[in-house]
Amino acid sequence: MENVILVIHLILALCLIGIVLLQRSEGGGLGMGGGGDVMTGRAAATALSKLTWLFAIGFIITSVTLTVLARKDAASTSVMDGVTTEETVPAEETAPALPSGSDLLPPSSTDAPVAPPRAD
C-alpha cells in the first residue's frame, strides 16, 4: 500500500514540476517576463493553472498519507528492539602485557643507581 502511494506521489511531483515549467511567467520575477493582466487584480483561471492546483492538492494528500503510514509503522516498532541485552564484550578488557622491566614513565630520582663506595 505504501509503495503504491509513494509511486503516485513521485508521479504527481514530476507532473507538478512539468506543469509549472510549462506556464507563462506572470509575476515578473527577477525582472523577467511580464503578463498583460498584472494590473487587473485577478487573472483568468486557465487549464494549466487548474491542473497545477489539482496536482498540488494530490501531492499534499499523498504527502500527508505517507506521513501517517510511516508514523503508524514507527509506532509498532522501536529502535531498541534490535538491541540485545546480553553482554557480548567482556566488561574489563585487559591491555596486552608489557615485557618485564619496561616502564613507560621516566625513572624518578629514587630510582637512580647507587654509586659504589670509593676506595681512597
Instruction: Provide the 3-class DSSP secondary structure of residue 6.
Output: helix
Task: Compute the distance between CA of residue 110 and CA of residue 70 in angstroms, rounded to an integer.
Answer: 70
106 or 53, higher pLDDT: 53
> Where does residue 55 rank: exposed (0-12), middle (13-18), buried (19+ CB within 10 A)?
buried
In the chain, domain spans: 1-23+47-72
| pLDDT-derived band at 48, boundaries 50, 70, 90 | confident
Q: What confidence score (pLDDT) does residue 88 get?
A: 57
Residue 4, pLDDT > 90, answer: yes
pTM, whole model, 2 decimals?
A: 0.51
Identify residue 48 by its one-letter amino acid code.
Answer: L
Residue 87, pLDDT > 70, answer: no
